[in-house]
Amino acid sequence: MADGSNALIDVRNVSRHYVRNVDEVHALDDVSLEVPAACFVALMGPSGSGKSTLLNLISGIDRPSEGEVIVAGQPLSTLDEDELATWRARHVGLIFQFFNLIPVLSARENVALPLLLTDLDKAERRRRAETALRVVGLEERFDHFPRTLSGGEQQRVAIARAIVTDPDLIVADEPTGDLDARNAEAILDLLRALKNEFGKTIVMVTHDSRALRYVDEAHHLDKGVLLTGEEAERAAAALLAAAGAHPMPPARSDGSS
């Protein structure tokens, strides 16, 4: 904000330490990152490198030990727990690896859930849920319950739930991690369309090298540190090489040789 950058997300010298028994785990160490509006960004890196931790800080699910996260001009550290929850409900759409839909609610009801936090009336909540389901291509599935949907369809319901409040920012933590290759590509396609057609800013954690074909930028994390310069290029090249060697690599591929 003060420096006049037009970034939607501004992560400034952020660290996150977890105290586990007596040990301190440095999940993130002095990470800085800017993400422009209407940009599709991938956070990549091996398991345990701090990707989810960074994503949680960006989406206001967690707070940094040090540093500051500013999203759309809002420094998140100034919000208390409940304000932060309200802020997330208004401004962030969240997608997870496991869809975690509520099994006893229909697709439409699952999607309408976040709208309970608004003061829209019942009919309007229903209308918006149906619109969101149409956007993700599930206009035929309004009244289906999660167990009657395929994995790919369940993830689409979860994406509809994430966009139903029309947030500026969508964060996705390994959204294709639990899907087969065909469904994974379809979800990546859908996310890219959300950026292109609706101007959403999307931050996605993945270690799926296929994602590189869909995103505008990829950032690489290793042991809690954001790689820059040559290191980052080397990580990207390794991922691309792996993707080249296996035109359709399995979703869980780590991309190392």
Minimum distance, C-beta of residue 229 to another protein, in the bound complex (Å) = 30
Among 25, 37, 38, 105, binds another protein (CB under 8 A): 105
Amino acid symbol at 130: E
23-36 β-sheet, strand order: 23-36, 7-20, 66-71, 74-75
Residue 80 backbone phi and psi in degrees, to 5:
-85, 180
Which of residues 34, 109, 216, 222 is near another protein by CB under 8 A?
A: 109
Q: Of residues 174-233, which lie at the interface with another protein (CB under 8 A)?
A: none
Query: Could you tell me the smallest distance in angstroms from the CB atom of residue 127 to another protein?
Result: 12
- At 17, the amino acid letter reads H
Interface size with Mg ion, residues (CB under 5 A): 1
| 207 interacts with, out of another protein, Mg ion, ligand ADP, none, CB within 5 to 8 A per kind | none
Give the Cα separation of 155 and 182 in Å (integer).
Answer: 13
Q: Which of residues 18-57 bind another protein (CB under 8 A)?
A: 52, 56
Ranked by CB distance to Mg ion, the top (closest) residue is 52
Place of tokens 């009336």: 121
- Minimum distance between the CB of residue 179 and ligand ADP, rounded to whole angstroms? 18
Give the one residue of 125, 141, 207, 210 binding another protein; rule: CB under 8 A.
125
Report the residue from 52, 97, 183, 201 that binds Mg ion according to the rule CB under 5 A. 52
Question: What phi, psi does 63 have (nearest 5°)?
Answer: -115, 145
Q: Please, which residue, 173 or 185, has the CB nearer to another protein?
A: 173
Binding segment for another protein (CB under 8 A), chosen from 31-39, 118-126, 181-189, 220-228, is 118-126
Joined together, the tokens standing for residue 38 give 């209407």
Maximal C-alpha separation, the chain: 55
Comparing C-alpha atoms, which of 79, 75, 92, 87 is closest to residue 11? 75
User: By C-beta, is 27 or 194 nearer to ligand ADP?
Assistant: 27
DSSP letter, residue 141: -
Residue 241's nearest CA partner among 254, 224, 251 is 254
Q: Of 31, 52, 84, 226, which one interacts with ligand ADP (CB under 6 A)?
A: 52
Q: How many CB atoms lie within 10 A of CB 75?
A: 13
Q: Which residues would be at the binding site for Mg ion (CB under 5 A)?
A: 52
